[in-house]
A and B are shown apart, each in its own frame.
Chain A
Amino acid sequence: MNLGKIVGVNGNLLTVAFENPVIQNEVGFAKLGDIQLKAEVIRIRDRNAELQVFEDTTGLRIGDQVEFSGALLSVELGPGLLTQVFDGLQNPLPALAEECGFFLQRGKYLDPLPRDAKWAFTPIAKAGDTVVAGDAVGQVPEGIFDHKIMVPFRLHGRLTVKSVEAAGEYTVEQVVAVVTDDKGRDHDVKLMQVWPVKMPIKCYAERLRPTEPLATSQRIVDTFFPVARGGTYCIPGPFGAGKTVLQQITSRHADVDIVIIAACGERAGEVVETLREFPELTDPKTGKSLMERTVIICNTSSMPVAAREASVYTGVTLAEYYRQMGLDVLLLADSTSRWAQALREMSGRLEEIPGEEAFPAYLESVIAAFYERGGVVRLNNGETGSVTIGGTVSPAGGNFEEPVTQGTLKVVGAFHGLSRARSDARRYPAIDPLESWSKYKSVVDEEELAQARRFLREGSEVGQMMKVVGEEGTSIEDFMGYLKGEYLDDVYLQQNAFNDVDAATPVDRQKHVFGFIARLLKTKLKFEDKDAARGFFQKLTQATRDWNQIAFDSDEFKKQEEQLDHQIAEVADYA
């Protein structure tokens, strides 16, 4: 046992004198009476190691023992992860609640994967097969998926399967296969393996370019600022602009196999909504409960700060694990700023030289390395899998010119900037259509999209100008452009999250409705004066909003569309 002695305590930073070798980022346990507090080595100076403790350190004394484990901070990977709710260190929270009641108890660590659960194993590989790390030797059913049991990712080179157990019921700790490496050493394959969270899993043939759109059923996202499967995007915005609501909606409707929600340093109440509602909601794709495709990592703002950093890594590691099975995974991290702040707090305690706004100088490279763990990959067996990462950013003062937002914008493929002005005007989702961008391909026709963007931009310019020169100083053509831009905003960009139909617009419907609007934008309309034009658009807006709330494949939907066409035909000027 490798032991050290505490020589300093400052908040959650311990200074520990050691004698035997220690490893950077190794996990240690500080002993406080009967309980052990988990900590991670973050700096070594002379014969002193500095450890950040993932718990409250009250009660520790000089001279108390710290036991170094020899392992890096790791997570357990295996069947039983889905539907779970973990804290940042992969402690299962419901199980913890059963043992400890209302409050979290420090020093209490439970097994992330239940040890007594049995899984029905079916072998895929057979003795004599040649495999590499990440190849499946068998599978077990986990909810709606075939959970592949893979050769441990930590093994190198070509391996030979020595034996595979017969089909049957196994627990996660039982050996289901043995593989031999080129030096003749045998390695056990169990249903479960462990992997250090800060290292990407790289058992794939190649990384591909993300090209296929990932439908979120949010019109402004899919049509205007699309996200690609395996892409990355960020949602910065001031508080109250709707970052978390947008993520919650995405987590429900996104067209992926698995959603991993990493609630990192945010409000507990928001996680609770997901936690209590998801089991009740059905996934339209599978007809099963949404929870069956979800894992929640939840390290809310009042939980220990150091575990916040761990929580985003835990999330992305689980995402990579399921990607290895050829699945599409979406990781939603809310909020990456809290994680950056955790880095800042620790950096301050270590008395490092601060960078901008006292964030550590390595902030940008840490953010970049995290987002780079997203991507589409072709696995060794030819299948593809993807990890899409969407992170919210909470910039101080809502000002995007701050280190975390800027560091994130450099490395993501799409930017959904939320604006206070839009949320104040109750224009939800409050994604700013003029500032946001995406490098991915939209679900609608590019030319029509360009036209729509032009109307939005010019409409906003006219709106600005009207504030200066007034309505009477604006030409009727400009005014028409303004009204069309507003109409597009009102009925297409804005979406009512509380209406069952309007909350989610599938791609087909988006194409159809956007086509209708694109035709209207092209149509020349004729009015006697501006008041008549405004009256027409007010009526049209109301009718189109009604249309948005009617089921897509119903007769009523067609009827409403005919009525809209009729309204437009009355004022269209085809001359």
Chain B
Amino acid sequence: MHKVYHRIEQIAGNVIVVTAEDVIYGELARVESDFGASLAQVIRLENSRVYLQVFAGGRGISTDAKVRFLGNTMQIPFSENLMGRVFTGSGVPRDNGPVITENLIPIGGPSVNPAKRIIPRNMVRTGIPMIDVFNTLVESQKLPIFSVAGEPYNELLARIALQAEVDIIILGGMGLKHDDYLYFRDYLEENGALSRSVLYVHTAADPTVECMLVPDIALATAEQFALQDKRVLVLLTDMTNFADAMKEVAITMEQIPSNRGYPGDLYSQLASRYEKAVDFEGSGSITILAVTTMPGDDVTHPVPDNTGYITEGQFYLKNGRIEPFGSLSRLKQQVNGTTRDDHRTIMDTMIQLYASYKETLEKQSMGFRMSGWDSKLLKYGERFENEMMALSVNIPLEEALDRGWAILADCFEPQETGIASKLTDAFWPKSV
């Protein structure tokens, strides 16, 4: 039987301190007081002083609350029965279903040995030209959507999840509005995907500490499925809330902040989650698609900035479109060399011309005379935005490439595009 401790020496934010013996670093404890019970985790040992982070927060904890150490670290149940279920950030059912207690697995496990990783090689088709043609999504990639509040990022996330060919979808919601949580659940249900999904949802009204657990729980579950040969897509929204929860906890712990209040280990913390994306040789895979909202549309804000250094590119969602500038899929060259011979050329050329179009727009807005070349660019830019960039466009890759050539042929002469002669000879649409 585990000893119960009664004397709490300090309560600051979500962290309480008790004097206890023989406690393990990382151990879980159960804290009970008149206002309810919560799990807590040991985050620091100092002689016999034990610092505990209370998942439900410090509010309502009395100085004589009962603290009982459980002798194990954080674990969550894992089984096929998780499918179609919704849980909170600490793994408690949110959907009135039965509690699952079988087959407990630890969370936040060790890193995959780099020597066991393989080069990703499977494209994930989404039907969105701005992704398929210009920044191809690849199985086992980790990719965030950078966006500002108000953009339809959750809708985009849900659409990609549905259209992507994966076996299992795991949603990790952090600080979600309750409406958004219901949106995801209903959307998946309506489209018949809920039965292959597991949802871990922390809403904005739930305790902060639970927000920090969501990615670990979601990814630990994903890892188990992937080891059972499943292709898993993990959706994490919104990682900025996750970082803000870490900031909140770090400040209450009196850690020295590094940049805009965020803790110095923000990079490592984000990386240890994102790096769970993997393609297991001879087994399943984990692809991570996350949302990172940028306060004030500022990509140099610490959260998007650190994220960008960790992830394999990013989709930049602005004005309801995926912007070609700033968006990048670092793994695209692993797959876009084998789709079709003209894929890379169309990708590069159309973006270069679109960049020139942007310059022309600038000149135009300053009232300069438009040269013949400028007029061509203006025509091109408009077609590109309407027929390629708009999120409403939903066509397979090959059709999108053909459309690319059609737009180019409609606006330019072959040599004006800078495309090597070999390709224009083969692909340039013959005039009728």
Q: How far is the CA of A63 from the CA of B25 in the complex (A)?
A: 12
B45, A470: Cβ atoms under 8 Å?
Answer: no
Given A358-B259, A396-B305, A542-B420, is A268 in contact with B114 using a C-beta cutoff of 8 Å? yes
Taking a contact as CB atoms under 8 Å apart, the answer to whether B111 and A104 are in contact is: yes
Q: Is A435 an interface residue (CB 8 A)?
A: no
Task: State whether A58 touches B117 (Cβ < 8 A).
Answer: no
Interface string of B296-333 (1 = CB under 8 A from A): 00011110011011101110000000000110101101
Check A105 for interface membership: any CB of B closer than 8 A. yes
- State whether A424 and B119 are in contact (beta carbons under 8 Å apart), knowing that A61-B23, A62-B45 are contacts in the complex: no
Tell me the minimal C-beta distance from A280 to chain B in angstroms. Answer: 11
Segment from A4-12, A223-231, A371-379 that makes contact with B: A4-12
Q: Find out whether the CB atom of B368 lies under 8 angstroms from the CB atom of A301.
A: no
In the assembled complex, the Cα of A338 lies from the Cα of B363 at a distance in Å of 41
Chain A residues numbered 529-575 whose CB sits less than 8 Å from any CB in chain B: 530-531, 534, 538-539, 541-542, 545-546, 549
A272 near B117 with CB under 8 A, answer yes
Is B431 at the interface (CB under 8 A from chain A)? no
- The smallest beta-carbon distance between B357 and chain A, in angstroms, is 12
Q: A394-B309, A534-B373, A546-B420 are in contact. Are A269 and B331 (CB under 8 A)?
A: yes
Residues A62 and B109 in contact, CB atoms below 8 Å apart: no
Q: Is the CB of B255 within 8 A of A8?
A: no
In the complex, are the beta carbons of B73 and A59 less than 8 A apart? yes
B-facing residues in A66-92 (Cβ within 8 Å): 85
Interface size on A, residues (CB 8 A): 82
Determine the chain A residues whose CB is within 8 A of the CB of B47 once the complex forms.
Answer: 7-8, 62
Q: A93-B113, A357-B259 are in contact. Are A498 and B265 (CB under 8 A)?
A: no
A273 to B113, Cβ gap below 8 A?
no
Q: Could you say which of A271, A359, A538 has the most chain B C-beta atoms within 10 Å of its C-beta?
A: A538
Which residues of the other chain, A, contact B44 by a CB distance below 8 angstroms? Answer: 8-11
Given A7-B47, A348-B264, are A59 and B116 neighbors across the interface (CB < 8 Å)?
Answer: no
B352 at the interface (CB under 8 A from A): yes
Closest residue of A by beta carbon distance from B23: A61
Report whether B265 and A305 are in contact in the complex, using a CB–CB cutoff of 8 Å.
yes
Q: Are B110 and A9 in touch, CB under 8 angstroms?
A: no
Interface string of B235-276 (1 = CB under 8 A from A): 000000000000000000001111100011101100110111
Minimum C-beta distance from A487 to chain B (A): 12
Segment touching B, from A95-103, A137-145, A175-183, A514-522:
A95-103
**CB proximity of A496 to chain B, nearest CB, Å:** 9
| A301-B300 in contact (CB<8A) | no
CB of A209 closer than 8 Å to a CB of B: no
A44 an interface residue at 8 Å Cβ cutoff? no
Contacts of A398 in B (CB 8 A): 300, 305
A103 and B112 in contact (CB under 8 A), knowing A8-B47, A301-B267?
Answer: yes
Please, which residues of chain A bring their CB within 8 A of the CB of B117? 268-269, 272
Could you say which residues of chain A place their CB within 8 Å of the CB of B267? 265, 301, 338, 341
For residue A185, CB closer than 8 A to chain B, the reply is no
Would A104 and B355 be within 8 Å (CB), given that A8-B47, A531-B373 are in contact? no
Which residues of the other chain, A, contact B415 by a CB distance below 8 angstroms? 538-539, 542
The CA of A468 and the CA of B328, in the complex, are separated in Å by: 31
Q: B340 in the interface, Cβ–Cβ < 8 Å? A: no
Q: Are A269 and B312 in contact (CB under 8 A)?
A: yes
Q: With an 8 A cutoff between CB atoms, is B115 at the interface?
A: yes
Interface presence of B95 (CB below 8 A): no
Q: Which of A10, A57, A426, A498 contacts B337 (CB 8 A)?
A: A498
Complex Cα spacing A372 to B22, Å:
47
Residue of A nearest to B336 (CB): A498
Q: Is residue B432 contacting chain A, with contact meaning CB distance below 8 A?
A: no
| Chain A residues whose C-beta falls within 8 Å of the C-beta of B352 in the assembled complex | 425-426
Contacts A269-B312, A467-B363, A470-B369 given; indicate if A358 touches B256 (C-beta within 8 A).
Answer: yes
Q: Is the CB of A348 within 8 A of B369?
A: no
B309 touches A56 (CB 8 A): no
Residue from B120, B275, B302 whose CB has the most chain A CB atoms within 10 Å: B275
Cross-chain contact B114 with A298 (CB below 8 angstroms): yes
Question: B385 at the A/B interface (Cβ < 8 Å)?
Answer: no
- Determine the distance from Cα of A52 to Cα of B208 in the docked complex, in whole angstroms: 29
Task: Decide yes or no: A239 and B24 within 8 Å by CB, A302-B111, A425-B352, A471-B368 being known contacts.
Answer: no
Instruction: Contacts A302-B271, A358-B256, A545-B418 given; indicate if A275 touches B73 (C-beta within 8 A).
Output: no
Which of B257, B300, B363, B418 sits near A470, CB closer than 8 Å? B363
Q: Is A168 on the interface with B (CB-CB < 8 A)?
A: no
Residue of B nearest to A490 (CB): B418
In the complex the two chains form, what is the Cα distance from A238 to B308 in whole Å?
9
A-contact bits for B209-227, CB 8 A (1 contact / 0 none)? 0000000000000000001
The smallest beta-carbon distance between B274 and chain A, in angstroms, is: 8
Q: Which residues of B contact A238 (CB under 8 A)?
A: 308
Asked whether, in the complex, the Cβ of B268 is within 8 Å of the Cβ of A269, the reply is no
Is A267 in the interface zone, CB < 8 Å from B?
Answer: yes
Ordered nearest first, which 7 A-B pairs have the shortest CB separation? A397-B300, A470-B368, A302-B275, A301-B271, A58-B26, A239-B308, A358-B258
26 of the cross-chain contacts (CB-CB < 8 Å) are: A58-B25, A59-B24, A61-B25, A85-B115, A100-B113, A103-B113, A104-B113, A238-B308, A239-B305, A240-B314, A268-B275, A269-B330, A272-B114, A272-B117, A272-B119, A300-B114, A303-B111, A341-B268, A358-B264, A396-B259, A424-B325, A424-B326, A425-B355, A466-B363, A470-B369, A471-B363
